[in-house]
């Protein structure tokens, strides 16, 4: 059996994890499927009890959860708190407050022709959700799909990233303990480790797949899911635009901009990757962010005295350097870089300095490819039309942030950006509003998690119609269209359509008279035949 090498991002100590084989994955899915059939019968009250136990544990053990994430991915404790703890707690809080409401049957209008019917939508569990998640937020990326899946009555198998397997297996034990505390089936949630073939096995056996990763792998997931025709939700990263208009408070926005690019060392799906600043404040904005970036120090995240931690993977620093070198070769200029604390020689490639780069344009790979690193490329714009065109000139479409002293102005620009979410005078605030759906368009993927949309995406959505006043009023096939159909059948249908949907009351009344006339004639004909 091939092993997975995971490493402590501070010490570079290698940790071996087992790879789940194809047969093992299918076996795990079947175990979860059996457990899910029991879980589907639980009440929302029982499911909320599970969530409360998790929430209590998370709040009490914030430091431990953040330290585990820090050791496996290199992020600082503050970055882990923001991206792992707060997001997950907000998700649980929203499910406790509103989850049941969005999963209860929803009654809809029955229309004119079905006035005697009641119409509703029911939300039933799909069965086993398969989640294949990324490494950048190992705690939240496990808990996010798990919480939605279990609250909607499903089981789940989560394939964690081979780059964050150690932390994922630890977090799995938290879920197991919470399930045991409420007497839930122990096999309801499974976490598996492995490489591409492990993910393929999960796609081929689950009832729905949620994938967080790259567009290339996302396309492979889609091809695999097409074999069994299961639904897929894809979140494939972004190249989010951060737009700064001429009437902002530069000092205020600069601080938000730096957080937007440096959160988790830039390894953030919804991180800002392209900065467009109005030319009238361009110099002052660059000056301010340069001042802040130069004050940032990167170093071992658990030391507690550094602003930014490490990259999760050694090879990622090479990619970032390649993007920056390509930009410099095409005329860009580095105007500021942060500094490093004491880093061992064997870990130097695990870090990349916070970087501000100017004179960029869209011919550069840095402005087209997802960097996923602490790099702030800043470009000037002169008009709203220009910046909207620039922001939309990307194969990605996850989110955007627009800043202006005039909120309606910022809102107008944001409405023209082709993406899945927008923050007006803020950065990534939409994700902390867990009532909202999260997801993108274009190469950022499709489908949503978060909000009612994400919760219901874990469900079989079933339309149901039944008699409103049963058994007093039942469906009866009108005589003219009963088999064998009468000669007047089409005349009856034609009049019935106009009686129901005519544009004026007078037209509908005339058509109703025609309907009654056909029915009367049909009754007379049938009576004559009986005689």
Residues carrying an active site annotation: 235, 269
Q: Which CA distances in Å does 317 have to 137, 283, 410?
A: 18, 29, 34
DSSP annotation of 18 reads: E
Question: Could you tell me how far CA 298 lies from the centroid of its own chain?
Answer: 29
Tokens found for residue 449: 């998690």
Helix (H, G, I), strand (E, B) or coil at 127: coil
| Beta-carbon contacts of residue 154 (< 8 Å; ≥ 6 apart) | 36, 39, 40, 125, 126, 127, 128, 129, 207, 458
Rounded CA gap, 524 and 530, in Å?
10
Other beta carbons within 10 angstroms of residue 62's beta carbon come to 17
CB-CB neighbours of 413 under 10 Å: 22
d(CA 69, CA 63): 10
Adjacency order of strands within the sheet including 272-278: 333-337, 355-358, 375-381, 272-278, 240-244, 399-403, 421-424
Counting other chains too, the contacts that 497-505 makes at CB distance below 8 Å and 24 or more residues apart are 500/112, 500/113, 501/112
Question: Mapped to the 3 state alphabet, what secondary structure does 347-415 carry?
Answer: HHHHCCCCEEEECCCCCCHHHCCCCCCCEEEEEEECCHHHHHHHHHCCCEECEEEEECCCHHHHHHHHH
């Amino acid at each position: 059996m091939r092993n997975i090498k995971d490493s402590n991002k501070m010490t570079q100590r290698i940790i071996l994890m087992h790879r789940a084989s194809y047969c093992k994955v299918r076996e795990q899915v079947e175990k979860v499927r059996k457990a899910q059939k029991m879980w589907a019968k639980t009440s929302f009250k029982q499911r909320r009890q599970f969530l409360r136990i998790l929430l209590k544990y998370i709040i009490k053990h914030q430091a431990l959860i953040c330290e585990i994430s820090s050791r496996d991915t290199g992020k600082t404790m503050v970055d882990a708190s923001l991206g792992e703890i707060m997001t997950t707690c907000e998700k649980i809080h929203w499910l406790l407050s509103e989850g049941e409401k969005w999963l209860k049957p929803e009654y809809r209008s029955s229309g004119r022709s079905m006035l005697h019917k009641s119409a509703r939508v029911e939300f039933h569990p799909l069965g086993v959700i398969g989640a294949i998640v990324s490494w950048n937020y190992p705690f939240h990326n496990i808990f996010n799909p798990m919480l939605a899946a279990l609250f909607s009555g499903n089981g789940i198998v989560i394939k964690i990233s081979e780059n964050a397997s150690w932390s994922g297996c630890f977090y799995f034990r938290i879920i197991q303990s919470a399930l045991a505390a409420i007497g839930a089936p122990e096999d309801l949630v499974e976490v598996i480790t492995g490489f591409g073939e492990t993910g393929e096995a999960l796609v081929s056996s689950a009832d729905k797949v949620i994938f967080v990763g790259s567009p290339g792998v996302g396309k492979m997931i889609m091809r695999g899911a097409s074999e069994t025709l299961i639904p897929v939700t894809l979140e494939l990263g972004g190249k989010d635009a951060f737009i700064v208009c001429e009437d902002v408070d530069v000092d205020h926005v600069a601080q938000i901009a730096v957080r937007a690019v440096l959160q988790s060392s830039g390894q953030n799906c919804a991180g800002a990757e392209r900065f467009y600043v109005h030319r009238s404040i361009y110099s002052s904005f660059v000056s301010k962010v340069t001042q802040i970036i130069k004050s940032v120090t990167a170093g071992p995240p658990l030391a507690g005295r550094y602003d930014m931690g490490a990259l999760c993977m050694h090879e990622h620093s090479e990619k970032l350097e390649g993007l920056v070198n390509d930009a410099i070769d095409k005329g860009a200029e580095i105007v500021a870089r942060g500094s490093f604390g004491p880093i061992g020689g064997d870990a130097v490639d695990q870090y990349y300095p916070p970087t501000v780069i100017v004179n960029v344009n869209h011919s550069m790979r840095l402005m087209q490819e997802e960097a996923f690193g602490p790099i702030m490329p800043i470009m000037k714009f002169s008009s709203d039309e220009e910046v909207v065109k620039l922001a939309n000139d990307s194969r990605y479409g996850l989110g955007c942030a627009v800043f202006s002293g005039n909120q309606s102005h910022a809102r107008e620009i944001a409405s023209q950006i082709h993406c899945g979410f927008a923050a007006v005078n803020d950065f990534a605030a939409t994700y902390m509003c867990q009532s909202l759906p999260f997801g993108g368009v274009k190469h950022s993927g499709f489908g949503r998690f978060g909000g009612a949309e994400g919760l219901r995406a874990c469900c079989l959505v079933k339309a149901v119609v039944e008699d409103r006043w049963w058994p007093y009023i039942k469906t009866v096939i009108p005589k003219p269209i009963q088999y064998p159909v009468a000669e007047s059948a089409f005349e009856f249908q034609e009049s019935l359509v106009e009686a129901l949907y005519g544009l004026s009351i007078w037209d509908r009344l005339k058509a109703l008279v025609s309907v009654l006339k056909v029915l009367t004639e049909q009754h007379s004909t049938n009576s004559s035949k009986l005689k």
